[in-house]
Amino acid sequence: MVSQIASELADYLLAGDQQAAIQCIQQNEDMTNLMIFHQLITPAMQYIGELWEKNEITVADEHLATATCDFVFSRLFSWQGDQSANGKKAILLCLEGEQHYLGLKMVSSLFVEHGWNVRFFGPNLPLEYALETAEKWKPDVIGLSVSIVYHLPHLKHYVKHLSSLSNRPVIMLGGRLAATHDLRPYCDGNTMILKDLLMANHWLSSEVLEEKTNATL
Ligand code: B12
């Protein structure tokens, strides 16, 4: 069951009403960005997916809602940062063919909030280009997102090649399928599979903690 506020937000997104969507989000002054992403925007988009599946809205309605959501998100939140407060770098990308990038954009925003220098590549980044950019930029973390089952055959290749880069980045995997499927057969033992934003945020916070502890030793 979707909450009243998430369903209200979904209505504004479906109407393409940017201002109302922004106000709907901003009225929750007591919510952190994490809570807004996890409890408000994610369920609103999932609810839109349910309406779409039941043919209660059209593909055009869903596209308008997605475009409005993307615009509103970019207006309200930082999602790409060149400034690194903690000296760490992450690249975030969707597997080849994968178009669902809104969730990964929220992950990107959390990384920025935790002081990371982030390069967010949006949808559909073929492995050869992911490898090329990772070899040059040497990120500490490479985050992958996958939502649709028929993109899974690519996953093994991404994990295999990206995890053998010379600087040994942490491979972090998320997306809709991380919550609904066992993705371990597609990964190696070092891949970190995170089912949702709360887990991602927990990992990011523990990294900060580890750094502070190391700094005081
Ligand atoms: C918007 C949307 C689209 C847009 C995407 C645009 C965009 N910019 O993202 C478009 C129109 C392109 C699209 C296309 C399709 N879609 Co679509 N889409 C959706 C919809 C309605 C919302 C997606 C979304 O934004 N969700 C909200 C985000 C926040 O959730 P999320 O992606 O899961 O991300 C969260 C976590 O997974 C996590 N996360 C995500 N990535 C990562 C990465 C890391 C490293 C970490 C740690 C965490 C993490 O954090 C996020 C925040 O909570 C969903 C419904 C749904 N349930 O999600 C359907 C849905 C996913 N789509 C679906 C389908 C079928 C399709 C198409 C196949 C339709 C078609 N016939 O063409 C195509 C496939 C396109 C492709 N090749 O990838 C189905 C999938 C059903 C299934 N069983 O596979 C869904 C569930 C709709 C439905 N109920 O039927 N879609």
Helices (H), ranges, the chain: 4-14, 18-26, 33-35, 42-53, 59-76, 102-113, 127-137, 152-163, 176-180, 197-216
Q: What is the mean pLDDT of residues 110-121?
A: 95
Task: Supply the pTM of this predicted model.
Answer: 0.96
Residues of the chain with pLDDT > 70, as a percent, come to 95
Burial of 176 (0-12, 13-18, 19+ CB in 10 A): middle
Q: Whose CA is nearest to atom 52 of ligand 1?
A: 103
- CA–centroid distance, 12 to ligand 1, in Å, is 19
What backbone torsions phi and psi does residue 27 show, to the nearest 5 degrees?
-70, -15
Fill in the amino acid letter for 59.
Answer: V
Residue 115 alpha carbon to ligand 1 centre in Å: 27
Asked if 162 and 131 touch (Cβ cutoff 8 Å), the reply is: yes
Residues with CB under 6 A from ligand 1: 37-38, 42, 45-46, 48-50, 52-53, 62-63, 66, 97-104, 106-107, 143, 145, 147-149, 172-176, 194, 196-197, 200
**Contacts with 196 (C-beta within 8 Å, 6 or more apart), sequence order:** 38, 174, 178, 179
Q: What is the mean pLDDT of residues 1-19?
A: 97
Please give the distance, rounded to the nearest whole angstrom, from the Cα atom of residue 209 to the centre of ligand 1.
32
Q: What does DSSP say about strands 117-120 and 89-94: parallel, antiparallel, or unpaired?
A: parallel
